[in-house]
Amino acid sequence: MKILINALSGNGDALMFSPSLRLLKEKIPDAQIDMLVMFRSVKEMYLQNPFLNKIYFIDFMKQSKFRSLAEVRTLSKNEYDFSINVYPANRLEYNIVNAFLGAKKKIAHHYIHTNISRAEFINDILIDEIENRHNVLQNLDLIKPIIKIEDKDAPAMDLFISDKHSSNAKNWIAENIPEGKMLIGFHAGSSVLKNHIHKRWDKDKYSELGKILIKKYQAEILLFGSESELNNEIVNKIGSNVHIASTADYMDSIARMKYCSLIISNDTAFLHSAAALRIPTVGIFGYTNYKELFPWKTEYRIVRQDLVCSPCFYNSPKPAECIWKGDDEFKCIRNIGTEEVLEAVKSLLGK
């Protein structure tokens, strides 16, 4: 059997398919399972995964549509039995790619917030999206037409770190961190696509929290993410005992993150990567749905404002918008105080 996984979304969404990938390979060990990605960081993240045969990268974002579709058509020569659009993939373009791959059976979701212009009908098997269902389980639903499994079978997420990345991280920690210090990781950034810059908890509050944790726990703060300007601002505000831990290689960051006792993050790929590493995690949520995106199978706390209007962001091509204006715009994230996050941290570190 040949199966192609279309992981065309970012790292966080792609990572939440990893439990399903493991189950596919365990149930059908002789299957050829390949993956198609359009972000290099997703390729880096899955490169060491033993449950994949091949990873194909197509630069949909930077090259012409004609060239991209030509490369997709080349993949169709592999004659896949199934092709699967990883959840969420609620865009016309994802369904077109699935069609051009030419698999015998094309599997995708039928979304709650959709319309005929998304061309879901191109696919052969449509799985109903279920509100408030975790993304890991939404992905599990995609493989149920292929193998017999139940929700309780869903394992933790997988992140496999190469020996090279592990060695580099060990050396970096030894060179930069005083021995015996507690390490606490922050990811204060987020994607800016679809207006997701508004996922970010205030950088000044991250800085204030960092100072408190350094004083209270004699901790060292590691900053993750590619948002160099943002991280530099936090370094300048905190002063000492804070380090920028990310590089251009996503797995460099993950190898260093593994040394953390706790991760504090907005709803981003680093939140889910921490969960995959089984690190206790504090997730700071605004307009996205924590019931669908909480850190999977690790100790965690969610900090959010329980507003009648949130969560208000759904899986669709539409960018995030707020019904409130002025000082109240995106108050779901802006009104979260430092003390609230600190209490969540204390709760986890106390355990």
Residue 243, pLDDT score: 98
In the prediction, which pLDDT does 105 show? Answer: 98
Domain residues of the chain, as ranges? 2-147, 168-350
Determine the pLDDT at residue 307: 96
pLDDT of residue 226: 94
User: CA 36, CA 6: separation in Å to the nearest integer?
Assistant: 5
* Residue 328: count of CB within 10 angstroms of its CB: 12
pLDDT per residue as tens, the chain (351 positions): 999 999 999 999 999 999 999 999 999 999 999 999 999 999 999 999 999 999 999 999 999 999 999 999 999 999 999 999 999 999 999 999 999 999 999 999 999 999 999 999 999 999 999 999 999 999 999 999 999 999 999 999 999 999 999 999 999 999 999 999 999 999 999 999 999 999 999 999 999 999 999 999 999 999 999 999 999 999 999 999 999 999 999 999 999 999 999 999 999 999 999 999 999 999 999 999 999 999 999 999 999 999 999 999 999 889 999 999 999 999 999 999 999 999 999 999 986
What pLDDT sits at residue 227? Answer: 96
Side-chain half-sphere of 161: how many Cα atoms within 13 Å? Answer: 21
What is the distance between the alpha carbons of residues 121 and 75, in angstroms, rounded to a whole number? 22
Res 55: pLDDT = 98
Sole residue written with tokens 């997988």: 158
Cβ(107)–Cβ(81) below 8 Å = no
Distances (CA, A) of 159 to 24, 44, 92, 220: 16, 10, 29, 24
Give pLDDT, residue 134.
Answer: 98
Residues 6+ apart with CB under 8 A from 311: 285, 287, 288, 289, 290
Distance CA 144, CA 150 (A): 8
User: Hey, what long-range contacts does 60-67 have (CB within 8 A, 24 or more apart)?
Assistant: 60/8, 60/93
Are 18 and 137 in contact by the 8 Å Cβ rule? The answer is: no
**Distance set, CA 290 to CA 37, 87, 151, 209 (Å):** 25, 16, 19, 22
Q: How many CB atoms lie within 10 A of CB 56?
A: 17
- CATH number given to 2-147: 3.40.50.2000
Q: In this structure, what token pair is assigned to residue 30?
A: 């002789």
pLDDT of residue 150: 97
State residue 67's pLDDT score: 95
118 three-class SS: helix
Residues 329 and 198: their CA atoms lie apart, in Å, by 9
Q: Look at residue 144 and give its three-state secondary structure.
A: coil
Cα–Cα distance, 245 to 253 (Å, whole number): 6
Residue 215's alpha-carbon distances to 240, 338, 350, in angstroms, are 11, 15, 16
2-147 and 168-350 agree in CATH topology: yes
CATH code of 168-350, in short, is: 3.40.50.2000
Model's pTM, two decimal places?
0.96
pLDDT at 84: 98
